[in-house]
A and B are shown apart, each in its own frame.
Chain A
Amino acid sequence: MSAETVMTPPSQVAAPPEPRRMAHGTKHRVQSRVFRIGRWVVIIGFLIATLVPFYYMLLLSVKPIGSLLQNPASLWVSPSEFTLQTYVDVLSSTASGGQGFGRFLVNSGVVALASVGLALLIGIPGAYAIARLPFIGRRYVSGVFLAAYLFPAILMAIPLFVGFTRLGLRGNLVGLIIVYTAQTVPVAIYMLRNYFETVPEAIEEAGLVDGLTRIGVLRQISLKLALPSIMSTGLFVFMIAWNEFLFALLFLVDRRERWTVSLGLSQLSGSVEVPTTVLMAGSVILTLPIIIIFFATERLLTGGLTAGAEKG
């Protein structure tokens, strides 16, 4: 607790030596104590609320369905019950009696990675232009993109559904990739622009003076300096594309072999034939990549997103 005592914030120092404080008496002291205890109650309460569902997910995924139904109150799995058969069932193909999540994983991976690639390919030049180049309308363009990002997906869903049906892109992963790219480019630009702006202009000018073209400066100087940020932007896009549900549902629902993991889980969880525990294994498979990415890059991600918030 030594770190704690050193860092104790001023608002929590009880019974301070100054005589002025003594006049304020017991009300003050009682409130301080309530706040100090209440704070820990709140911290632990939130921790339980956020972690228990994930623990429950993991727990149910390693139990046979029979033991869940027999003893639903149990929050533990005994070694004799422990099984990974659920994962085998959910991952193996339908031909061999499983649920085909292996196939869904490939689909989700292809869609998410392609969206990341395209969003960065389109977003990096755009963000650089907004950060550095004085083109006409530069001041308004980021506002327009932000508005595009804020626009509710359901509004665009109808015309895109109709249009993609006519173009024959519905029921096709390419259609999904296009939509995800369009949805994530505005965010990518928003995040990347902040980073490009932090690259000192003097370095870029030095590059220009040394005979590099603008594109050369972008490729050889700015991109290298902004590489960590580009990674975090890419991971953020990956998370959005991996988690997306509405468009996957609208575009792919009739084609089981093209389902993403999200879509597969939602479709199968509606039926009674697939045991809950097997689907929980599917949930873990769906969630795990996101949690790994998130914990690996939490700092980068949260910093990039709230970059504007400190200014208030």
Chain B
Amino acid sequence: MSTTVTETKQPPTKTDTTGKRVTLTQRDARLGLWLMSPTLLVVLVIVIFPLLWSILLSFQRMRLIQIGRADFFEPLTLANYERVLGSSAFWSSLVITFIYTFGSVVLVIFLGVLAAMAVRQPFRGRTFVRAAYLLPYVAPVVAVTFVWRTMLNPQFGIVNIVGQNVFGWDEPIPFLSQAVGTWNLFGLEIPVPTALLTVIVFEGWRYFPFAFLFLMARLAAMSDEPEEAALVDGATPWQSFRFIVLPQLMPIIGLLAVLRTIWTFNEFDDIFLLTGGAAGTNVASVQIYNYLTVQRNVGQAAAQSVIMALVLVAMLAVYLLILRRRGERV
């Protein structure tokens, strides 16, 4: 290979095994792989390998006690899958996980849009307001769940105190420990999954800043002109939001829905810390944790986590199909 201009200025110091000279591009490419290799190694060892191992474990009989002795070559079995799919606890937790995910994602996006639209136009103190809105998302989950638990405490929590003193509740509401409560609406008694709703509201509170952040960025980059034109043509504020702003936000909303679904579907911390999975909030990841640490059944925990991963992948595929179809129509 002939020497290029760059090379005459900076002669190659390296030669490859055949003794041929290497171009700068080739050297850059090789260096690139070298620079990448630590990352590749870490991701391989801590992410990819565990994933594969998880699949293997789900086909093996393995208890926590056996960890010291067991190896990769335990006999394979479908028993874990049979036990998971045959248990009613799994199906009820799957339903709860779906409700929880759907409710949280919708609430997060709704609150995110509302907040982003409200602070869209500049006003004094906007920077502070924006930073304050992000607090629930950045604060440590253990601290905020503890505060929520204290605020919702039936004995001395501020929410129940205010509810009884100001809103005239007859008795404190056990927000986090009541599976089903009844609401009296115009004489109708409506059963309500109290704890599940509370957990969903918490998700809305904690993660709306995430949606807010991305929607703000999109809104800031949007051109004002279409809206001004619509205003001149007599569009009401609602019309200009509905037909001009919202369609431009849809791609980001779609992305947020996908991301939030991935994360909420396997959310562990929030529910574990708020209710411990009690009172009708036993979502899949908390159940997996219990299989692992309480029942000490590694195989069954792995089997359920693999099933949940497959459900998640299937859901994402449907999501993407819907988004693509939407995209075609718009």
Interface residues of A (CB under 8 A from B): 1, 3-4, 7-12, 18, 20-21, 23-24, 27-28, 31-32, 35, 39, 42-43, 46-47, 49-51, 53-54, 56-57, 60, 68-69, 72-73, 75, 121-123, 125-126, 128-130, 132-136, 138, 141, 144-145, 148, 150-163, 165-166, 178-179, 181-183, 185-186, 189, 208-209, 211, 213-215, 239, 242-243, 245-246, 250, 261-263, 265-266, 269, 276, 279-280, 283-284, 286-287, 290-291, 294-295, 298, 302, 305-306, 309-312
Contact = CB atoms under 8 A, between A and B. Distances in A.
B88 interface: no
A56 B159 CA distance: 11
Contact of B42 (A8, A50, A185, A294): A185
A144 B32 CA distance: 16
B266 A152 contact: yes
Nearest to A186: B43
Contacts of B17: none
B36 interface: yes
A211 B7 CA distance: 10
Given A56-B151, A166-B68, A246-B269, A158 B248 contact: no
27 contacts: A8-B121, A11-B231, A20-B233, A21-B234, A23-B234, A24-B234, A49-B205, A54-B147, A56-B150, A132-B32, A133-B28, A133-B35, A150-B262, A154-B288, A155-B266, A156-B54, A163-B53, A181-B42, A262-B142, A265-B142, A266-B273, A269-B149, A295-B131, A298-B130, A302-B213, A306-B217, A309-B217
B142 A135 contact: no
A43 B115 CA distance: 7
B50 A160 contact: yes
Interface string B34-62: 01101110110111111101100100001
A302 B146 CA distance: 26
Interface of B: 6, 9-10, 13, 24-25, 27-33, 35-36, 38-40, 42-43, 45-51, 53-54, 57, 62, 67-68, 111, 114-115, 117-124, 129-136, 138-144, 146-151, 155-158, 161-162, 165, 205, 209, 213-214, 216-218, 220-221, 224, 227-228, 231-234, 236-238, 240, 248, 251-252, 259, 262-263, 265-266, 268-269, 273, 285, 288-289, 292-293, 298, 301-302, 305-306, 308-309, 312
A261 B120 CA distance: 37
A151 B29 contact: no
Nearest to A268: B146
B50 A156 contact: yes
Contacts of B45: 182
B140 A166 contact: no
Contacts of B301: 158
Nearest to A148: B47
Contacts of B39: 122-123, 125-126, 145, 185, 189
Nearest to B119: A43
Given A54-B139, A75-B158, A4 B123 contact: yes
Contacts of A42: 114-115, 118
Nearest to A211: B10
B144 A53 contact: yes
B46 A156 contact: yes
